[in-house]
Structure formats: C-alpha cells, structure tokens
Structure 1
Amino acid sequence: MKINTFHLFTLLFALLMILGTGCDLYEQDEYRELVQIESYLVAGRQLPVVRITRTLPIDVEYTFESAALSGAIVSITLLDENGGTAEVFPYESGAATGIYIPQDDTHIVEARRSYRIDVTFSNRDEQLSAVTTVPDQISVINDVRESVVYQSDEQLEIVLAPTVQTQNQNVFVFDALALNPTPESLTPFYLAAVNDGDAEIEDFFSNSSGLINEGNFDIMADGTIFLNFPWIGAAFYGETTVVTNSVDRNVAELLRSQEVQLGGSTLSPGEIPNLRYNIDGGIGVFGSISSDSVVTNFLRP
C-alpha cells in the first residue's frame, strides 16, 4: 500500500548519531577543536534546519547543548547549471543555541539541483562550505503487496520510476518503521539481540538496511529500478512503513565510512580511516535525500 508521508527519521537520526560521536573517531593525541555542520536537504520539502557544533575531547561527555555554537552566519545557495548563484537563502538563529533556521520558509528543495552551504562566524575565524546535488525524486510505481511472509522466497519488491542519475551510481537505503512494535513481535535475529542484552528493543523501532549499491538492484530496459527489501531490515512482524531513500554522494560516503568504522572491513585498527566528510573547513555532512514510502505487513512464517 502506497502512502504519501515521507518518513525520514531513521536515516537522519542514524546520521545525527554518527556525527554526535564524531569527536571519538579522531586520534586523541592529535585532537583539535573542529566546527561541525549537520544539515540534510530533502527533495520536495522546505529548506532544512542547520545544526552547528564543535567537537569535544574524548574525556568530555558529548551533548548537543555543550557543543552548540552561537554567532554563525549561515546561508544556503541554490546554484545554476554552471555552478554560479541562482538564489541565496539567508539563515537566522533558532530558539536554541546551535540551531539555525531559514528566513525563507517557502522555498521547496528542487531535485537534481545543486546547493551550497556557507558558514562564517562573528566570534570565530573558521569558514566552512559544502555542496550537495539533490537526487532525483523517486516514486514507487508498483502495487506493493499488503502482506509478505517473513523470510519466504518472495521478498518485498519495490519498483521505482526511472530517474535521472545525479552521481556515478544510484545508492539507496531502506528504513523499516514498525507501527506496533512489541517484544513478542520481534523477528528472531533481533529478539536474540535483545534477549542477550546486546540491544534494547527501542533500538529497532526504526531499522535501516544499510547502503544498497548498484550491484544489489536491477535497472530494467525501460529505466525502472527493481529492488528487493532485505529481510535483515525487518526487525518486527506486523504492519511496517518501508521507506526507500535515494541518497547523495555525501550521505553515501559518510555511511560507507561509518560501516568500516563499525567493523565492516578486514582492515586492522591502525588502517581504518576516519569518517569521510564533505565539509571544507570543518567536519560533518551537508547532504541530500529523496524518498518514497509504502506500508506492508510482515507475517510470521
């Protein structure tokens, strides 16, 4: 069943958690304070909030409030096809320190367009900038089954309308948001994790598939994109909102490097690189996403 609401909370929350712990991912004998930007454009939505913080030493407990920075001068610029300025959107301080909101709440983020963020300060010397190209708007066009038997041979199939590619390859992330999560409805893998004390049930209320690259989906002759929702993404039996996200290069590189940090690599600890950021003059992410959502029911075998 197709729904109109875009549920982006899982992916964006995951990214915020990555960035919130970013100060732990630097060698501490080389620690220096860095400015961090967090902002995500979503195709078809209003301009986003921008969060600006500083990194903290490893021996200081991280909270957004303690890391938040005031005095930032923020703007997001819509670029023309030659990289020049098409329109500038100034930002202003929000209700909380470190939160910056657009003065113009009418602009709708345009798919397949590039945007640049610029940040300077009235009370610091740093100058930061970054560019993102918003993925083409995706749309689920098949009649998604209202129910699917968990781990059956027939996976949940998602077919997307043809899109214009804005990077070398399309990269997707599925999010599964359980609509009635209970301990009794956990699927076996996640039930074991909770029972073993390795996780809390709340960790799986919304669950991400990780990156899905072109080797894991098919592009048909007519340009439609055929994806199978991976069973590892289903943490609960029952009614679930399944969100398909097309992510830009900046978000993809951050998630990919995070997978390496968390053990998805054969590299030894001394060889594992820091997270990959796209911010000139600082760290963080200025990225973009397009999404569409459906609802299905994962049935017990």
Structure 2
Amino acid sequence: MKKVITAIYFTLTALLLFGCDSYDQDDYQEYVVVEGYAVAGQSLPNIRLSTTAPADDEYSFEENFIQNAIVLITLLDENGEPEEVFEYTESTEEPGIYNPLILSYQVEPLRTYKLDIVFTDRDDQISATTTVPDQVEVVNEIPESVVYQSENQLEIILAEPEKTNGQNVFVFNTISLEPAIDNLTPFYFSIIEDEEDVDISEYVRNSSGLINEGNFDPLPDGTILLRFPWIGVAFYGENLVVTLSVDENLSDVIRSQDVQLGGSTLSPGEIPNLLYNIEGGIGVFGSLSADTINTSFSRPF
C-alpha cells in the first residue's frame, strides 16, 4: 500500500509543481506553498512547506523549504467545532517537512479536518479544510488478464459511496510492474520511438484525469460501474490499477490545471490560476480514499 500511496503523491505533486500561474512577475510576491494529502485509513499526512520562486528561477524544494512553523491539524465535529487536535513537529532529517506526533491515528472517511499554520519568524497565517471522501471499495471480481483494446473493457464496480461535497469524483492511476520498451503499448511507443535518449520512467505511472458522475453508471443495487480507459495502459503485462476518490480541493487543482493546458480553448495570453482552496498561501491540502486491484494487460491476438 505504501508504494501505491507514493505513486498517488507523485502524480498530484506533479500537478501542483508544474502548473502555471498568471502572476505578474514584475511585481513578484513570495507565497507560502503548502502540500499535504490525507488518505482515508492511513496515518495523518506529512505537511510540506516551502516558498514560491520567481518565474526565472528554477524551483527546488530543497532550496525553498520553510522552517520554524507551528502546524496543527484539527478534526472537526459535525457542527464545525474542534473535536481533536493533532500537533506536528519538523523532521530533523528533511527540513520543511512536518510530521504528526501521533502516528497511530488513522484518517477517517467522511470527516472534516482543518489545517492551521503559523510561523515564529514570519507573519503568514495559513488555514485550509478538507472533507475526506467515503472509502473506495472495489466489490467485483477482477480478471487475471485483459486483452488490450478488446471489446471486454476492464470494468470496476465500487460499493455505493456516500457523497461529501456535491458529486463524487474519481481518478484512475495505473502503475506498471513490468515497465520495458518492448512492453509499451502502441500509443506510448509512438511517442518515444524517434527519441535518441529514451526515458520510459515517466510512463510507469499514468493518470486518467478526473472521472465525474456523468462518466460512470449507477447500478440497481446502488453500486457504481467504472470502465477503465485504454489510454491509461502504457505497458503490457502486470499492472496495479488504483481507483481514487478525491475531495473538492484535489478536484479543483486537477480541473484547473487541465484548463491551463486547454490550448486553443484559451484566449491568447490568458492562463488562469490554479484553484488552491488555501487561505494565506497556495498549494493543496486535500484528501482522498483509494482501493487497488491487480491485473495483466495482454497483447491483442
């Protein structure tokens, strides 16, 4: 499970760090960048704190981390009042990364958590809240092997999830366990076949993008059916397929990042900011739940 959660962090961190903002660099203002992902059934998240950098400087967390922060996460009751407060301490080995003092507590689905950050040496005050999605549970039997691009598309049936804010939003992450050039599916092989220095590592983990309610089928028993998109398969062979239910904060970051990459749908010079849902800074304090299945994608006959 640790490998799966690491892959989730990798995907979402990429969305955060490589998004573009329309800040006026002639009037550059430094912002505190927050990054933390609460996962249902896992320990409280680590919180990463850094600062932004001017557009002409290369961003590096190791160069921009922030120390001397006081970090608290509060579990709120149904009335929005504090129920339990969790203190954090800065890592002695990784400056700028803050860890919960209590590691035994597990994040609860359908609960709301509030992040508060102040500093001993700067005036910034950061706050954000997230409501954790209901626990994702795959309930159907998954075939050991699926023929790539066959009529029998991989189907994943989830137990009926309870809604938190508005509609449920899902993301598929695929993690190849047999990454090799010879195992690349045709679409991804066509991307790299003319490259001299081939690096296939960026395709080991693939994300489907957001899957909203309009893209899945409710079944009579209350479960929901999701059909895994073939574009998510980069490698033949054994793969982990992670089904994620993401909260509103993560959905906003991913959705607004997709708009930034909208090409001709944007007016010239118009690149909207990412939606952060962080008061006093930028970044993401979000939550998700996940379940993982294992299957093999085989070559067509």
- Please say whether Structure 1 and Structure 2 have the same fold, judged by a TM-score greater than 0.5: yes
* Aligned equivalent of 2:49: 52
Task: Report the CA distance between 1:272 and its aligned residue.
Answer: 2.8
5+ unaligned residues in a row in structure 1: which ranges? none
**For the Cα contact (< 8 Å) 2:238–2:297, is it kept in 1?**
yes
State the 1:200 CA deviation.
3.0
- 2:75 aligns with 78
When the two structures are aligned, how many residues end up with a matched partner? 298
- Aligned residues of 1:10 and 1:207 also touching (Cα < 8 A): no
Distance 2:267 2:6 in 1: 33
Aligned mates of 2:268, 2:126 — CA distance in 1: 30
Runs of 4+ in 1 over 6 A off after TM superposition: none
* Pairwise CA distance, 1:260: 1.2
Counterparts of 2:95 and 2:19 in 1: how far apart (Å)? 19
Matched, 1:150 2:163: no
TM-score, normalised via structure 1 length: 0.95
Check 1:26–1:196 CA distance in 2 against 1; reply closer, same or farther (3 A cut): farther
Measured in 1, the distance between the counterparts of 2:83 and 2:237 equals: 47
**Residue 264 (structure 1) shift:** 6.2
Cα distance, 1:97 vs structure 2 = 1.4
User: Whole-Å Cα distance in 1 between the matches of residues 139 and 172 of structure 2?
Assistant: 16
Query: Are residue 179 (structure 1) and residue 142 (structure 2) matched?
Result: no
Matched, 1:7 2:39: no
| Separation (CA, whole Å) in 2 of partners of 1:130 and 1:243 | 26
Segment of structure 1 superposing worse, 136-145 or 218-227: 218-227
Letter matched to residue 217 of structure 2: D
- CA-to-partner distance for each residue in 1:168-197, whole Å, 9 max, x for gaps? 111000011111110000001111111243
Equivalent residues in 2 for 1:250-269 (5 A)? Answer: 250-263=249-262, 266-269=265-268
Cα separation, 1, equivalents of 2:198 and 2:247: 30
- Residue 197 of structure 2 corresponds to residue 203 of structure 1: no
Question: Quick check: 1:6–1:291 contact (8 Å CA) kept in 2?
Answer: no
Structure 1 letter corresponding to 2:230: W
1:116-145 C-alpha deviation (Å, 9 max, x unpaired): 000000000000000000000010000011
Give the Å deviation of 1:223.
1.5
| Aligned partner of residue 281 in structure 1, secondary structure | coil
TM-score of the pair, normalised by structure 2: 0.95
Q: Residue in 2 aligned with 1:249?
A: 248
Aligned partner of 1:295: which letter? Answer: N
Question: How far off its partner does 1:114 sit?
Answer: 0.2
Look up the match of 1:293: 292
| Contact 1:148 1:155 survives alignment (8 Å) | yes
The correspondence of residues 1-301 of structure 1 with structure 2, limited to 5 A, is: 7-21=4-18, 26-94=23-91, 95-197=93-195, 200-263=199-262, 266-301=265-300
CA distance in 1 between partners of 2:22 and 2:145 (Å): 41
Residue 73 of structure 1: how far off its partner (Å): 0.6
Cα distance, 1:235 vs. partner?
0.3
Runs of 5+ consecutive residues of structure 2 not aligned to the other structure: none
Q: CA deviation at 1:59?
A: 1.7
CA distance in structure 2 between the partners assigned to 1:90 and 1:5 by the alignment: 23
Contact conserved, 1:134 with 1:248, CA < 8 A, in 2? Answer: yes
